[in-house]
Amino acid sequence: MFTMINFFIKTILVLLVLVLSFISCSDEVIQPLEKDEAYNLQFPSYFPKMTFDTSINPVTKNGVELGRKLFYEGRLSRNNTISCGFCHIQENAFTHHGHTVSHGVDDRIGIRNAPPIQNMAFLKRYMWDGVIHNLNEQPISPITDVNEMDSSIPEAISKIKDDQKYKKLFREAYGDETITGERILKALSQFMASLISADSKYDRFRLGKEQLTSTEAQGMALFGQKCASCHSGELFTDESFRNTGLYYNTEFKDAGRYRVTLNQVDWMKFRVPSLRNVEYTAPYMHDGRFYTLEAVLNFYSDQVEDNANLDPQLKQNGHIGIAMNSQEKQSIIAFLKTLSDKSFISNPKFAE
């Protein structure tokens, strides 16, 4: 009988230990994360093939959200004041409206106009001189530039690594709380890849949902004749580097592509920018020297400087520049304004 009692007591004790162990372990288990989902990058069928490699950096909802937070994070700069969003303002198609060139920490002045951040997932090169070829690496340039954010990836990590909100965001995006430079850069590039502008009047026209006015249609025809040799395709850029007859700005001492290649044939060649949302992105050119679209077209018709590197498209039929009269310019500008995407510059998903 005593043997039977001992058996039951031992059995109960074993079961009690197992239950307590289970409870103890349960307390230590991290709650399962809300399942991350792929972020659907939506764009028209007539857009070019996407260059952003999602096999290397899959775009997810949590990754984009982390990237959005980092995009507006001032602690990525040396003195915690300059975020990516400081120079790339949504309502201006992510440019620095009113500033000829970018402004950075301690009110330092850069040498180039902040380009728009839009449709980056379809481009092959970035920056005015094309020095960056991979969107995952692009944020390194402003973060480390002495006149912009003047920081480093290790310094940025040190500032946010103990932030509980960032720990949660990194865990939700990557599965654990580890904050690395690669993860920061990839999250930022996921957010930038999500910045797709494809809902302008021009796009609705392309889809047969809206008609252009007679002036806009005339402007589109003139644009095709006079501008599309460089501003081609649905992004309105061929991504080439061209010398357009701008004088060398001695204040900034920026010779464009030459700074990358040190090849004299690249002197004053700059990447042809996309013209989508161009209505919102003044001032214009690599150094923001023109404040209106009228001024840009006046330059091309009357102020192009001939030089050894001047693009052949700008010296045809014995004429330097692009022949345009005042009415033609106004029609072209009317067409350019059909490339404005109001939903893009007001989409709350892209806001701080």
pLDDT tens track for 122-154: 999 999 999 999 999 999 999 999 999 999 999
The per-residue pLDDT for 34 is 63
Provide the domain limits for residue 271.
201-344
DSSP H/E element including 308: none
Whether residue 222 lies inside any domain: the answer is: yes
The per-residue pLDDT for 35 is 72
The per-residue pLDDT for 18 is 40
Q: What is the DSSP letter of 114?
A: P
Q: How far apart are CA 39 and CA 190, in angstroms?
A: 9
Whether residue 321 lies inside any domain: the answer is: yes
Whether residue 304 lies inside any domain: the answer is: yes
The CATH number given to whatever domain includes residue 325 is 1.10.760.10
> What is the number of structural domains in the chain?
1
Mean pLDDT by 10 residues, the chain (352 residues): 42 41 37 72 97 97 98 98 97 94 95 97 97 96 97 97 96 97 98 98 98 98 98 98 97 96 97 98 97 98 96 93 97 98 98 95
User: What is the token pair recorded at 259?
Assistant: 């700074």
The per-residue pLDDT for 29 is 36
Cβ contact 93:118 at 8 Å: yes
Residue reference for tokens 């990058």? 41
295, 297, 299, 300 alpha-carbon torsion, rounded to 10°: 170
The per-residue pLDDT for 330 is 98
Whether residue 309 lies inside any domain: the answer is: yes
Whether residue 332 lies inside any domain: the answer is: yes
Q: How far apart are CA 112 and CA 114, in angstroms?
A: 6
Whether residue 171 lies inside any domain: the answer is: no
The per-residue pLDDT for 13 is 42
Cβ contact 325:209 at 8 Å: no
Whether residue 287 lies inside any domain: the answer is: yes
The per-residue pLDDT for 198 is 98
Q: What is the DSSP letter of 302?
A: I
The per-residue pLDDT for 231 is 98
